[in-house]
Structure 1
Amino acid sequence: MKRIRVTLRKKTIASGRLSLYLDFYPPFFNSESGEYSRREFLKLYLIAKPASPIEKILNAENLHRAELICSRRQNEVNKEFIYTPFELEELRKKETGRKSFLEFFKKEASLRTGKNLALWESAIKHFEKFLNDRDLLFEEVDAYLIEDFRSYLLKTESIRNIGKKLSQNTALSYFNKAKATLRKAYKLKMLQSDVNAQVDGIKEVESERNHLTLEESIALYNTPCIKEIVKRVSLFSLLTGMRYSDIAKLKWADLHNTAQGHFIRFRQQKTQKNELMPISEHAYKLMAEHATEGEIIFKGLKKWDVDRVLPIWVSEAGITKHITFHCFRHTYATLQISAGTDLFTVSKMLGHKSIKTTQIYAKLVDEKKIQAAGKIMLE
């Protein structure tokens, strides 16, 4: 690598002044901007023709400051020629330690999209609250601090729902964002020790997944709804297990009719995985009349209508459970397992990354437990 020469230069500007700047040759790589730099303006100025002793003194002071900066920058950009490898590594650690871990956390969040981005942003809000809105440098990050953040999440209230304690699974989600950031920072040598490995995670608790029985599903199907599109899209989710976010963006171009039946090709918004899902004839009939390929299948669908109408429709069907739209996905899974569909197939139909996620639904199927209890007969 070639030594970089740093020269202090002057540039004439308006009002009879000279702007002092540093000239680098060859250009050096600026790690902050990610670009090669040739000039660095110091925001220090000289009066071209000083007319008084005070102006001469100001010129001398600014010139001296500029020369000191020039000397310092000369050493900074030529570290490899001045320091030993050990000294360079120690300097790197010192410089990195003074950078903001909080800003690094925010940068990691900015790489996410959609619902995942919202979760990262919520995690950061809680981290800032935990820090009392102060900055946090890399040199301040240790296992004790992260353990304290873990304890904070398990005790704190929700920021959105004032007065409501943060659920353990939500705390788990937020803490995992911090741990992912710690892993990345250690991998990039921003942290000198693997803090993430030194801190235990938060255990997931099995959350209640409300779902409809087959009898309740039939009752809902036979109950009129004040918004026909809400009924159609709800039953479509119940028959396919698809999420609202994926159904809402379905276009006719995503539908494929073959000799084997009807299929939908789509990308799951949550996992960003491409899926090819077979759908039943019943689900197919719930779609609107076929239009051009670029058009949305469930045209006119609004989340606000679903949230407003769904509780009324469910109540009119005689169902007293708290049912949200996502419960139709749970219903699909439990009804499939109750009907004897194996877990592997259900997992594939739901687009789960792991069959462990699908196994949760198997625990909801009480009918299977009742059947199993009666299989061992001693008389």
Structure 2
Amino acid sequence: MYKFNKLVMLITLKHRKLNDGRLSLYVEFYKGSSVDENGKRIHIRDFEFLKLYLHNNPKTPAEKKENKEIQKLGENILAIRKAEYVQGKFKIRNTAKDKKRFLDYFSEITEEKINSVNNYGNWTSTLVHLKKVIPQNFLFEEIDENFIKKVKNYIDNEAKTKSDLPLSLNSKYSYFNKFKACLRNAFDEGYLSINYATRVKSFEQSESQREYLTYQELQRLAKASCKYEVLKKAFIFSCLTGLRWSDINALIWSEVREEGEISRVNFRQEKTDGVEYLYISKQAREILGDRKSGQDRVFKGLKYGVSFNNEIVRWCNRAEVNKHITFHSARHTNAVLLLENGADIYTVSKRLGHREIRTTAIYAKIVDQKMKEASELIPQLDLKI
């Protein structure tokens, strides 16, 4: 029978001499000792060999410099391992953070998204639903797998829309993923010792209906009157470039570049926070008008709100476009028109800033369906063969 001595784990950086004379760096995790039934003390250690090697007795300046850099790298890894130990890798919990209320934490994460209109809206909607299933004073120390299952079951079977209808599959997917993102963030910041986000499967995302304009419908829309000139310009610019509303709204003149007769926009994509370089057509550049000072908004006066959204509907009615068109439909329109006119799916995917080609493939299905429909457009012949 073993008797264990309890102590805080010691994590240290050490080296071992190899047969070829080099020194191999490794991290030692010393977990204490035990005494077996014969009275022999046994020390309990784990090791992580870093595959980093020092010169033994370095002679040249180059070897000394290399040793210094490798030693520093080893010390950085050691610091990471110590941080992981504190954050919970070895089941050590921060008792102060245990007492944090989960909904308070989720609210704080939500407010960090306030500058991203669409994303912020999704997070606030998720918070509304979570408040219906999670008690206000529920603490991080109470979180376990049953809690995660309870939240998922609520979203799947009990949560309702404002119209008292069951949530769509895409809404379930979106809300539960926000919940999981919060759990991941909490684990990274030391509020949880277990990353529960990796232990539960998300809802499947359904293939949503993507409304778009045909070339003829877009032409009619371009000729029809719109109450807000800036809205008309921004919408058609989106149809020609595929830019999202958030990126168009944030676009400033310093991001519009001229390269001879070619124009492009260099911008930081709001949704992914990635830097993008997008070439635009001459007609798209003409829509922007005369250049202003660098920090001026290109579409000054463009707003996100009910009045602008309602005007899109009225504008479509004037153009005799009988579809449920939103500003985001302009982005769908760009994708379909590019594919219809010969652009390959990879190029379209890159222009739209999609991370995965399968996202763009949805538009290819639309074009393929239109091709099938076109096969039946020629009237039937009275054949005698």
Q: Same fold (TM over 0.5)?
A: yes
Matches within 5 A, 1:31-70: none
Range with bigger deviation, 208-217 or 363-372: 363-372
Question: In 2, Cα distance between the equivalents of 1:302 and 1:138?
Answer: 39
Question: In 2, Cα distance between the equivalents of 1:291 and 1:192?
Answer: 52
How far off is 1:321 after superposition? 0.6
Question: In 1, Cα distance between the equivalents of 2:94 and 2:201?
Answer: 26
Q: 1:316 to 1:147 in 2, by over 3 A?
A: same
How far off is 1:97 after superposition? 5.0
Tell me the residue number matched to 1:338: 340
Tell me the residue number matched to 1:66: none
Q: Deviations over 1:156-209 (max 9, x none)?
A: 4456x3424332212211211222233344456644544333322111111111
Question: In 2, Cα distance between the equivalents of 1:182 and 1:256?
Answer: 41
- Say which one has the larger Rg: 1
How far off is 1:92 after superposition? 4.5
How far off is 1:222 after superposition? 2.8
RMSD: 3.1
How far off is 1:336 after superposition? 0.8
Tell me the residue number matched to 1:120: 123
AA of the residue aligned to 2:263: H
Contact 1:251 1:297 in 2 (8 A): yes
Tell me the residue number matched to 2:323: 321
How far off is 1:210 after superposition? 0.5
Q: Does 1:285 align with 2:286?
A: yes
How far off is 1:353 after superposition? 2.1
Tell me the residue number matched to 1:361: 363
Tell me the residue number matched to 1:154: 156
Q: Does 1:245 align with 2:235?
A: no
Q: Deviations over 1:38-96 (max 9, x none)?
A: xxxxxxxxxxxxxxxxxxxxxxxxxxxxxxxxxxxxxxxxxxxxxxxxxxx88857776
Question: In 2, Cα distance between the equivalents of 1:289 and 1:208?
Answer: 37
How far off is 1:251 after superposition? 2.2
Question: In 1, Cα distance between the equivalents of 2:95 and 2:255?
Answer: 54
Tell me the residue number matched to 2:210: 209
How far off is 1:272 after superposition? 1.6
Tell me the residue number matched to 1:140: 142
Count of aligned residue pairs for this structure pair: 286
Q: Does 1:173 align with 2:180?
A: no
Q: 1:94 to 1:354 in 2, by over 3 A?
A: same
How far off is 1:107 after superposition? 4.1
Structure 2 unpaired stretches of 5+? 1-89, 377-385
Q: 1:108 to 1:368 in 2, by over 3 A?
A: same
How far off is 1:331 after superposition? 0.5
Question: In 2, Cα distance between the equivalents of 1:92 and 1:308?
Answer: 51
Q: 1:137 to 1:157 in 2, by over 3 A?
A: closer
Question: In 2, Cα distance between the equivalents of 1:306 and 1:92?
Answer: 50
Contact 2:338 2:348 in 1 (8 A): yes
Tell me the residue number matched to 2:200: 199
SS of the residue corresponding to residue 278 of structure 2 reads: strand
Contact 1:288 1:298 in 2 (8 A): no
Question: In 2, Cα distance between the equivalents of 1:237 and 1:99?
Answer: 44
Contact 2:91 2:193 in 1 (8 A): no
The alignment's TM-score, normalised by the length of structure 1, stands at 0.66
The alignment's TM-score, normalised by the length of structure 2, stands at 0.65
Tell me the residue number matched to 1:229: 230
Q: 1:264 to 1:94 in 2, by over 3 A?
A: closer
Q: Deviations over 1:332-371 (max 9, x none)?
A: 0111112121111111111122222212222222234557
Tell me the residue number matched to 1:308: 310
Q: Deviations over 1:299-348 (max 9, x none)?
A: 33334453232111211211111111110101001111121211111111
Question: In 2, Cα distance between the equivalents of 1:323 and 1:309?
Answer: 11
Matches within 5 A, 1:70-85: none
Q: 1:250 to 1:191 in 2, by over 3 A?
A: closer
How far off is 1:138 after superposition? 3.0
Contact 2:93 2:192 in 1 (8 A): no
SS of the residue corresponding to residue 256 of structure 1 reads: strand
AA of the residue aligned to 2:130: F
How far off is 1:257 after superposition? 1.1
AA of the residue aligned to 1:121: T
Q: 1:110 to 1:207 in 2, by over 3 A?
A: same
SS of the residue corresponding to residue 286 of structure 1 reads: helix
